[in-house]
Amino acid sequence: MDLTQDRITACLTNPRFQFKLGDITKETDWIEKQIKHCDVVLPLVAIATPALYVQDPLRVFELDFEANLAIIRLCVEHKKRIIFPSTSEVYGMCPDQEFDEENSYLVTGPINKERWIYSTSKQLLDRLIYAYGKHKGLSYSLFRPFNWYGPRLDNVFNPKPGGSRVLTQFIGNILRGENINLVNGGEQQRCFTYIADGINALIRIIENKNNAAHNKIFNIGNPKENISIKTLAETLIKNIADFYPAHTEKAKSVQLLHVEAKSYYGEGYQDVSLRVPAIRHAKEYLGWEPKVDMKTGLRETLDFYLA
């Protein structure tokens, strides 16, 4: 179920795939009926765009926390396994050089920094799922994506600043011949993980071979591809200028501008300088590690949007 079907058009003709257009906050009877018939539940719905954490924090809480809490409780009631998408954001401003699922502290900012409503909503759901597993027998797996990217990520033609994730925001800037705004200079670093690697890990969690994913938390990210947002912008400009002739001139005209976070996102924003996953759990229990490097993943993504 989703509000639109534009991301899954290729799936709609598959006889093994069923889709319902709708809002999970309203279709509660449909949701419970599906959960009763499922073996595994993956409630993927969430607002995951940083600008909206500041602009509409109440909507983020209502959808990301309250709507998902109802689904979690139904999984407890009907004894269904849940695979829940946590987030790398739960670690917040953790000072560790790499984030460990079991030992790293989850550190967020003050109440007036509304960007943390997403992180804390997800974190509380993680804690509730863990508690339901320990005290009520809920079977679960939590996975924490670290900056997954690839085809169909966002609409690159959305001109609204902050209206999509950073990669598609930058691609859209270049296609429109706009300068790229680097929040706080783009010095913050992220570990970008190609979608095929992420889905490969997710399939292994669903499979749960030898119960390997039972009641465990997994960081799913690529610690080898830790680059700054500024480097990402520079790499995109060069790739588009070099390999996509129709957009070469626009790419070459783009300048990188330093903007303050407060002016770009608003007073309620706060950023994180480093976010590197420890992936020992995924290696040990799932036999997984990322295979796709940034160079290959970016070309695949650009081919989808530009070729």
Q: For 105-133, write each residue's pLDDT tens digit.
A: 999 999 999 999 999 999 999 999 999 99
The answer as to whether 12 is a domain residue is no
Helices 166-175 and 229-243, axial angle in degrees (round to 10): 40
Closest by alpha carbon to 143, among 193, 202, 97? 202
| β-pair type (216-220, 189-191) | unpaired
- Collect all residues with Cβ–Cβ distance below 8 Å to 17 and sequence separation of at least 6: 8, 11
Q: Of 89, 101, 114, 225, which residue is the catalytic one?
A: 89
Q: Which residues pair with 84 in a beta bridge?
A: 142
Answer whether residue 31 is part of any domain. no
Residues 103-109: contacts with CB within 8 Å, 24+ apart?
109/270
What is residue 160's predicted lDDT score, i.e. its pLDDT? Answer: 73
Q: Which residue has the tokens 């429109």?
A: 176
- What does the pLDDT read at residue 270? 87
pTM for this model (two decimals): 0.93
* Domain-embedded: residue 32: no
CA gap 72, 136 in Å, rounded: 12
- Is residue 10 in a domain? no
Q: What is the pLDDT of residue 262?
A: 84
Angle at 73 between CA 212 and CA 206, to 5 degrees: 25
| Residue 10 pLDDT class (50, 70, 90 cuts) | confident
The one-character DSSP state at 153 is: S
User: Side chain identity at 291, as an amino acid letter?
Assistant: K
**Does some domain include residue 62?**
yes
3 occurs within a structural domain? no
Q: Is residue 48 part of a domain?
A: yes
Q: Which domain holds residue 218?
A: 38-306
The catalytic residue among 81, 144, 190, 275 is: 275
Query: Can you tell me which residue has the tokens 């695949």?
Result: 300
How confident is the model over 220-224, as a mean pLDDT?
A: 97
More confident residue, 273 or 137: 137
* 89 has catalytic annotation: yes
**Domain with 262 in it: what CATH number?**
3.40.50.720
Total of domains in the chain: 1
